[in-house]
Structure 1
């Protein structure tokens, strides 16, 4: 097989600035804010699944994130006519999804719509850049710390978002803040070597704590937290982690366990565990433990004893230290509930690292792949073009060509290099001046159309070769293209005949636009499907898969974000899936809804049609994939029998990296290739799953069938001779190529085992899931043609070259 191994793609993930878990009263979700303004929403289930990406924009770096999920009523008791009505209101509040707020150096605090992924409301901080943000424990007030040294409170109760008031202004910026358990006091860390304790009701400082400072320089208190016991924890730019008595605001203990700035802290719910990290990349764990009291002085004093009994005192100790990251760690978040038990960290090296919080020093960490979990690459197979989307632009390459091999591909070693007669070439680069990051892009099969979108609009471009200057391209924006009239898109796709553009809009509507009459500046909207909005009903004659008739309203009527979309190779079928696992199939010939597929337990991660049949493959986050015939509305026989976590190979199911895509080799129509960030897996749909405990790892080996057959023959002959020497079989058995071996089972029973010529072939047939780990980490995998595979990799070495130097302190003698 010919493999185009592409490492030239200019894609660099953004640094992680903020992490925040949703409150315990809501389902577990982690928000990850990046330096380019993007906010990722991760579900800890199924080994961490990316659900959505809220796009950022220019100068919108996320410095702080805060969740709010109100479960306490703000009305007086007299407001409710009965206890039943009050409980119903509480239940309604609890079922309301949590709200997400973000802020950064652009002085804007934003609440996000988690379905359309657009800003819901934005408020100016009126104090410059926002460095920190937190909601109170009742989730009714949002506090932000600003550049001008002022803490400002916003009312977020009952869906509101309005400014309340400001605290007394300080002469330095507020870098960190935390609420007390009763929401009556607040602690802030400043850039003037001070920690302030505030009375929230009066908005005044009630106490001040001072940390050490270097002469002539102020110490920055980057992080503060308040424990459930009321004590205060701080981390500063001198690398110190300090514990303060919450009542007297006196320092209890100090740790100089970091070599540079402590940028982030995480605390346990019981107030006995603290984690810290920062510029020196170390992640430290501190525990509150019982220790013998120090030696008493005076006449008859004994070492920590009273009346013969050892006196014990509680004290904080450094209980563990690990180094997960290669650069500064800027954010940490911990969730000890809901079977999550995770400590998550992130920073300049762009990767999130997850480790078990309760067994921090004993269990290995899990590194979330830094490659994009949603596709940013599309290809034109006929023209050998590849498009990659960046935050604010796109780039198109023409893939190279290799010299014709002088021997079959099966004779090559895996990874052997082939000579290029035409190297890859960057032929087009487009950068957009919009302040918003791009959310979707697509290129037509003939290479003449490129569509891009953000959350506000969809743009369409016509690409043609300059007739007077061969080799140069002319790009024309279709100004008459109406887009989706006021909305952007989460996904885009062209039909294979290049006549239609499919848009999955930000309002969860699927729009079909005719672009075949572009020369007359006509772009007709052929259809709008509203199934993902919980409306649209069912088209006449359609039914659910497996023949089960039921009314289709898009589930329970909720509007959900469309996250996956696929168009069949013949242009007849369109499949779309959303975050609630609802998958709808549409017939593009009749422009009608065709079928609603069943909902799976695990979130879907991709959708892909077979290139020569109406077969849809649906991989899920549990690494189980399903195969449907959309024309007959039936699950395939193979999928009915094998698509289950009880039948798939256990080694394959144990892969922590999710299936990110599916590729089909046109030369082998009954096989498919599923791929994740660190593997590719070949599956033959004409065979069974095979041995559940086996998943063949394909390494460097000879592919010549004759050589393999010769090796098997030699092994068989040696085995037969060994059996003959032991008297197990006779010479005629050797000539027939068949051996009868007596084996003894554990229960003592003896059985006769027949070893035939095709014994090794049968053993290999038991392994259907053939896994290759050679290419990684993967951004994209697809076939250009028969036995011609495109693999796009993003090595970490390439990312390191774009990062600033990491912290280093020379040790004595080095």
Structure 2
């Protein structure tokens, strides 16, 4: 494989301005809620939804913003839990709100990813806001309230505090809590002390405590001046409440101030930062505190039994200002996430701080903003509202660098959500949340030096889309709209006329899978877990597949063959009721309309119901290309199919019989290779379970972003992630672990084979808090002390051990399923199974097999953060790809305010 290792593709970084967890603590039992999510807001207006389940940290959804729509704050609320007639409790619905350089608060629809509503308050710009604590009927000294919903309090630039109501599934202005008449008294931070008390930090060196019922100022706390030579005012950037009723503040002097919750007096002040403290985070029990500031530091503090705080450590996880922090401290996940101008989220453990490493999440988008037209040697990149087309020269043509041959700036303010291009590079589709646009690319390089001329084509009137996909020949355009409906548009292409899209659109229906367990994230617009995250066409354009966050895969196939003599559109109402023709949607409406385009129409795959549900959300979906020898030539049109007086809408029911294999990679790095038409797992997937994957692959942290197929001369799959590249040879089986082979041979009678069933993993040990791996033993901090008696004559006393950390250590051994290993051995060749008579012969046969053939996999970690990997070059030639990197040191970041101490 020839690789063009390039860094010429620009991708402007977008700072992290806001972070928020959907839950602050576990709601039931010793288990984290299933709907736990992390919302991340960036400066370009995008909001990312991350799922931290089982430490996977997968980026599930992206709500695309627009021009001048920076996200400056995020807040989650949750409705009251409901109980059905059987007594089972359903979690309340989660709601997400944001602010950003405007005078309104925006609520987002989690199912569609679009703004649901805006507040209509007459105020200045909203600088900060916070959510009221959840109503609990078991709380002490709490009077009955008619409104049990969580209200929002917003602080504005003119010093005004607004109270917004979220009752009745709405967002409306309720009243003013305070109106300040002091100049420069803008509200920089605000939080709820309890359901009726608000604490706000101002830009005039004060912290004010308000009663939300009557707007009464309970207490005004002054921080004083900064002293000679400094600014006159102290900016209170953040205030946070503690579980014991007190609160803590961080200001522009770099100080952390702790206050008593009863008399509102300052009890302690810690100088921990060399510049402004921008955000604070508190653990669930209130004994741990984290702070981040402009000096790039993340400081850690603990509280002793007497209530005194001290700084334990500080570390620079970020290369620039730390602007936002979010914490969740539960029975499973116990971590704090921080972000800033350097665009990368950092996960730091809380419960096992010092015993586990921190972890950096991918800063680049999970869906690569790169596509290519291999036959035309074109590559398309995009960001925000701009699209660029690059031409990549072949290596035989010299060392000429790739150059931009076309630029496209979309009209409007919405960011681009998806782009697709045909294999020959003549058609380009671009989608936003508002609309889908179709363009024709005319190559004029032979006539002029302009390169490529862009011509806009008309599309049927459709709303925006989250995903657009072309068939390789450009005859079909699939769009996934914001409501997760699959729309198929037929494009007529001829040599003597301009390409045009037919006005009639075919709607493909998915299988009804019923309800799901994560109802807290659903809304009136649909189920969040049924949101389509991936879609792809087969290489011949006859099969289409989509996958959603719940782990379901839906497939469709084309029925009939293209017939240029048939009507372009033949739509009619069908009286026959069948599984394919009389589908019902979730709202109960039946679809009986048949639409045939030039003798072809899309139907549901007859084996679609046989696809199993994945254990977790998919991270990648791709079809294995079909070779020319395996594909069957299509007949010209549909022979023996002619409309008659009794059957005016005759069409062919023939379906392509060439088997297509579909690869799905889940968030836990498991490979699923399906045979689409048969509706089953392929033989390679059945013979190679996750226990046979290489250790270097199983310990990967970042999920797969994309893949490249190399099937011309060999059957190879190239997977890549944020910083890794793996190759799997699908024509060979992966080596079986020695523990499984020994178990098959000895049947559990040998002591050494029993001990080898659990083999310790080479490399770092797995963590338990959802952050990084456990600290190596040689670098582990001191966790035990020995106490000796001062008496000299008592030398026989055994020193006592004092545990400094009471956390439980995790079991770092690999777990192999012996029954699965035995089944895999039976599926492999009989030669290996028959040779397993003793443990020595098993090892010898495995060693001899490795000598005869090289390893069926290969990997490298030498590439910097990978933005994308796309193929370049025509079919039949050797595989040639373009690998685009975006190293952190090449990011165009603003200058630091503090950096002299480096």
TM-score, scaled relative to structure 1: 0.79
The correspondence of residues 219-234 of structure 1 with structure 2, limited to 5 A, is: 219-234=234-249
Structure 1, residues 28-60: CA drift from partner, whole Å, max 9, x if none? 100000011100000002420000000111111
- What does residue 560 of structure 1 align with? 530
Q: CA separation in 2, counterparts of 1:754 and 1:37?
A: 57
- What does residue 73 of structure 2 align with? 64
Task: Classify 1:144/1:750 alpha carbon distance in 2 versus 1 (closer, same or farther; 3 Å).
Answer: closer
Task: Classify 1:530/1:113 alpha carbon distance in 2 versus 1 (closer, same or farther; 3 Å).
Answer: farther
Task: Classify 1:384/1:696 alpha carbon distance in 2 versus 1 (closer, same or farther; 3 Å).
Answer: farther
Task: Classify 1:242/1:402 alpha carbon distance in 2 versus 1 (closer, same or farther; 3 Å).
Answer: same
- What does residue 161 of structure 2 align with? 151
Task: Classify 1:468/1:765 alpha carbon distance in 2 versus 1 (closer, same or farther; 3 Å).
Answer: closer
Structure 1, residues 423-475: CA drift from partner, whole Å, max 9, x if none? 31110111123111111111111211111111111111111134863644322
- What does residue 492 of structure 1 align with? 468
The correspondence of residues 95-114 of structure 1 with structure 2, limited to 5 A, is: 96-114=92-110
- Counterpart check, 1:502 vs 2:478: yes
- What does residue 597 of structure 2 align with? none
Report the more deviating stretch, 520-529 or 323-332.
520-529
Residue number among 672, 691, 698 corresponding to 1:646 in the alignment: 691
Report the more deviating stretch, 584-593 or 278-287.
584-593
Please report how far the alpha carbon of residue 493 of structure 1 lies from its aligned counterpart in structure 2 after TM superposition: 1.0
Structure 1, residues 726-749: CA drift from partner, whole Å, max 9, x if none? xxxxxxxxxxxxxxxxxxxxxxx9
> Secondary structure of 1:350's match?
coil
- Counterpart check, 1:323 vs 2:337: no
Residue number among 174, 181, 185 corresponding to 1:164 in the alignment: 174
Please report how far the alpha carbon of residue 125 of structure 1 lies from its aligned counterpart in structure 2 after TM superposition: 4.2
> Secondary structure of 1:519's match?
strand
Residue number among 534, 538, 548 corresponding to 1:578 in the alignment: 548
- Counterpart check, 1:422 vs 2:400: yes
Task: Classify 1:795/1:751 alpha carbon distance in 2 versus 1 (closer, same or farther; 3 Å).
Answer: closer
The correspondence of residues 652-663 of structure 1 with structure 2, limited to 5 A, is: 652-663=697-708
Q: CA separation in 1, counterparts of 2:380 and 2:308?
A: 58
8 Å CA contact retained: 2:120, 2:172: no
The correspondence of residues 227-376 of structure 1 with structure 2, limited to 5 A, is: 227-290=242-305, 313-376=306-369
Report the more deviating stretch, 358-367 or 443-452.
358-367
Task: Classify 1:755/1:505 alpha carbon distance in 2 versus 1 (closer, same or farther; 3 Å).
Answer: closer
> Secondary structure of 1:382's match?
helix
> Secondary structure of 2:89's match?
helix
Structure 1, residues 250-281: CA drift from partner, whole Å, max 9, x if none? 11000111000000000112122211111011
Task: Classify 1:513/1:533 alpha carbon distance in 2 versus 1 (closer, same or farther; 3 Å).
Answer: farther
- What does residue 152 of structure 2 align with? 142
- What does residue 5 of structure 1 align with? 5
8 Å CA contact retained: 1:665, 1:783: no
Structure 1, residues 343-397: CA drift from partner, whole Å, max 9, x if none? 1000000000001112233321110121210131110010010001111111110
Residue number among 660, 676, 683 corresponding to 2:728 in the alignment: 683
Task: Classify 1:464/1:252 alpha carbon distance in 2 versus 1 (closer, same or farther; 3 Å).
Answer: same
8 Å CA contact retained: 1:532, 1:561: no
- Counterpart check, 1:776 vs 2:864: yes
Please report how far the alpha carbon of residue 211 of structure 1 lies from its aligned counterpart in structure 2 after TM superposition: 1.3
Please report how far the alpha carbon of residue 755 of structure 1 lies from its aligned counterpart in structure 2 after TM superposition: 8.0
8 Å CA contact retained: 2:131, 2:151: yes
- Counterpart check, 1:475 vs 2:485: no
Task: Classify 1:100/1:630 alpha carbon distance in 2 versus 1 (closer, same or farther; 3 Å).
Answer: same
Q: CA separation in 2, counterparts of 1:51 and 1:115?
A: 12
- Counterpart check, 1:44 vs 2:52: yes
Q: CA separation in 1, counterparts of 2:762 and 2:464?
A: 44
Task: Classify 1:213/1:497 alpha carbon distance in 2 versus 1 (closer, same or farther; 3 Å).
Answer: same
- What does residue 515 of structure 1 align with? 491
Residue number among 457, 465, 485 corresponding to 2:435 in the alignment: 457
> Secondary structure of 2:619's match?
coil
> Secondary structure of 2:697's match?
helix
- Counterpart check, 1:32 vs 2:40: yes
> Secondary structure of 2:498's match?
helix
Task: Classify 1:783/1:261 alpha carbon distance in 2 versus 1 (closer, same or farther; 3 Å).
Answer: same
Structure 1, residues 736-785: CA drift from partner, whole Å, max 9, x if none? xxxxxxxxxxxxx99689989x9677248474331112223112224334
Please report how far the alpha carbon of residue 84 of structure 1 lies from its aligned counterpart in structure 2 after TM superposition: 7.6
Residue number among 792, 795, 799 corresponding to 2:886 in the alignment: 795
Please report how far the alpha carbon of residue 557 of structure 1 lies from its aligned counterpart in structure 2 after TM superposition: 7.8
The correspondence of residues 50-129 of structure 1 with structure 2, limited to 5 A, is: 50-71=59-80, 91-92=89-90, 94=91, 96-129=92-125
Q: CA separation in 1, counterparts of 2:56 and 2:221?
A: 42
Please report how far the alpha carbon of residue 72 of structure 1 lies from its aligned counterpart in structure 2 after TM superposition: 6.2
Please report how far the alpha carbon of residue 578 of structure 1 lies from its aligned counterpart in structure 2 after TM superposition: 1.3
8 Å CA contact retained: 1:450, 1:460: yes
> Secondary structure of 1:646's match?
helix
8 Å CA contact retained: 1:285, 1:321: yes
Q: CA separation in 1, counterparts of 2:726 and 2:78?
A: 41
8 Å CA contact retained: 2:371, 2:870: no
Structure 1, residues 53-86: CA drift from partner, whole Å, max 9, x if none? 001111111111000112268xxxxxxxxx987x
The correspondence of residues 511-660 of structure 1 with structure 2, limited to 5 A, is: 511-516=487-492, 519=498, 521-531=500-510, 560-589=530-559, 590-594=601-605, 595-596=608-609, 597-612=611-626, 614-643=660-689, 645-660=690-705
Q: CA separation in 1, counterparts of 2:273 and 2:852?
A: 53
8 Å CA contact retained: 2:283, 2:350: no
Q: CA separation in 2, counterparts of 1:561 and 1:754?
A: 47
8 Å CA contact retained: 2:17, 2:73: yes
Task: Classify 1:514/1:192 alpha carbon distance in 2 versus 1 (closer, same or farther; 3 Å).
Answer: same
CA RMSD of aligned residues (A): 2.8
Q: Which runs of 5+ in 1 are unaligned?
A: 74-82, 291-312, 405-419, 536-555, 698-748
8 Å CA contact retained: 1:441, 1:492: yes
Please report how far the alpha carbon of residue 238 of structure 1 lies from its aligned counterpart in structure 2 after TM superposition: 0.6
> Secondary structure of 1:498's match?
coil
The correspondence of residues 437-448 of structure 1 with structure 2, limited to 5 A, is: 437-448=415-426
Please report how far the alpha carbon of residue 617 of structure 1 lies from its aligned counterpart in structure 2 after TM superposition: 0.5
> 1 or 2 for the larger relative contact order (CA 8 Å, sep ≥6)?
2
Please report how far the alpha carbon of residue 662 of structure 1 lies from its aligned counterpart in structure 2 after TM superposition: 1.8
> Secondary structure of 1:617's match?
strand
Structure 1, residues 631-690: CA drift from partner, whole Å, max 9, x if none? 2222101112223x3332333111001111121013344221111111111111122221
Q: CA separation in 1, counterparts of 2:219 and 2:81?
A: 30
> Secondary structure of 1:787's match?
coil
8 Å CA contact retained: 1:17, 1:33: yes
